[in-house]
Amino acid sequence: MNSILLDTINGKSTSRPPVWFMRQAGRVLPNYRELKEKYSFVEMMETPDLAAKVTLMPVNDLDVDAAILFSDILVVPQALGMSLEFTNAGPVFGAPLQTFSDPVSHLKTDLSKLNHIYAAIDRIIETRPSDIPLIGFCGAPLTTFCFMFRDNVRDITFKNAIEFIYRDINATKKIIDAITEVSIEYAVNQVKHGINIFQLFETYGGLLPEDLYLELILPASKKILNAVRDKGVPTIFFPKDLGHGIVKVTKDVADFVGVDWQMPIDYAREIVDCEVGIQGNLDPRLLYSNQNNIMQTLEKYIEFGSENQKWIFNLGHGIMPDTPFENVKFVVDWIKSANWKR
Ligand code: CP3
């Protein structure tokens, strides 16, 4: 495949960094908003033709260098038997694990819940432009675990889940193992259906002290990422808010590491294993500003980009929901036309 993103991941030199955005499909595109008036998010996600159409929308409308599968990280808890509803306020489980005195016994794996996603991947592969790789993904174990315990859609501290970890480490390990096992099956099936790159989203990587994260969760994330890489697909790990802990994301864990907007990208490059590439890390909220301010911040990346070929331009977290579309397009155009002095 002739793709600037795959070239970068494979260590070839390119004239500019590749660009795509986390959450590029669902949040900012006028065409997505229009479709959302006719169909709910779940209808779009679960109907392969619609999921494929939305997956490819940012490629057409923003001209980004990759498509990311239109789905959600919470399909893994669904495949563990949990019922889920996407309300206007956010995702809500029918019976969060917090409800049960013995949550482990309430997990009942049903992998057929994921079949519609493989059908969507088939459809995307059939209809995408030939130079656009498809990024598959799933949630990393801690983030998935945290949502499974949440009983209040407004709780962003995930108090229940963290309390459970400290109260019952043995049951915690069993649940993490169950999430990991289904995630591996799911990720490997994504590979079989043709994804070109895989990203593991650990959005809430900062909820635990670093040593506990590294001991309890990182080995599970590594297992998922290695299962994908063993099938020949490169991996990106995005452990948001892990701070200095990203030094532990070595080449045996992932090919690239996503850097959040909190950490200066030069510092990330200094501390991360030199064999591991970097993805990131513009503050998504900068896109609320004016194009002059946005450009001044982008210019600061030129030096980094001229010296670092193993870098994928992205945000330091997902695009914010009400970001002006023109500003997102402005960033893509700027990245593509700047002189990267390579
Ligand atoms: O570009 C894309 O949007 C690709 C598909 C995608 C979705 N969710 C679709 C979605 C991806 C990659 C995700 C990942 C995801 N989902 C994460 C990790 C990344 C991150 O942004 O932190 C997390 C934590 C979730 C869980 C989740 N799903 C939440 C908290 C919510 C509600 C708030 C929100 O993000 O909008 C969702 C719902 C969701 N997932 C929507 C979409 C398009 C909105 C549903 C709607 O329109 O009602």
221 belongs to a structural domain:
yes
- The structural domain count of the chain equals 1
What is the mean predicted confidence (pLDDT) over 252-261? Answer: 98
- Which residue, judged by its Cα, is nearest atom 36 of ligand 1? 90
Domain that holds residue 10: 4-337
What percent of the chain has pLDDT above 70? 100
Global pTM value = 0.97
- Which residue, judged by its Cα, is nearest atom 3 of ligand 1? 23
- Which residue, judged by its Cα, is nearest atom 45 of ligand 1? 41
Listed in order, strand segments (DSSP E) in the chain are 67-68, 84-87, 90-93, 134-139, 197-202, 235-239, 256-258, 277-282, 311-315
Would you state the pLDDT for residue 312? 99
- Give the CATH number for residue 58: 3.20.20.210
Cα of 54 from ligand 1 centre, angstroms: 13
Would you state the pLDDT for residue 194? 98
191 belongs to a structural domain:
yes
- Which residue, judged by its Cα, is nearest atom 30 of ligand 1? 90
Cα of 23 from ligand 1 centre, angstroms: 7
- Rounded Cα distance between 74 and 88, Å, is 16
Q: Taking Cα atoms as reference points, which of 46, 40, 20, 210 lies closest to residue 119?
A: 46
Q: Is 280 helix (H, G, I), strand (E, B) or coil?
A: strand
290 belongs to a structural domain:
yes
41 belongs to a structural domain:
yes
Q: Does the structure show a pLDDT above 90 at 26?
A: no
3-state secondary structure labels for all residues of 145-167: HHHHHCCCCCCCCCHHHHHHHHH
162 belongs to a structural domain:
yes
Pocket of ligand 1 (CB under 6 A): 23-26, 41, 68, 70-74, 86, 90-91, 137, 143, 201, 203, 318
342 belongs to a structural domain:
no
Number of CB atoms found within 10 A of residue 192's CB: 11
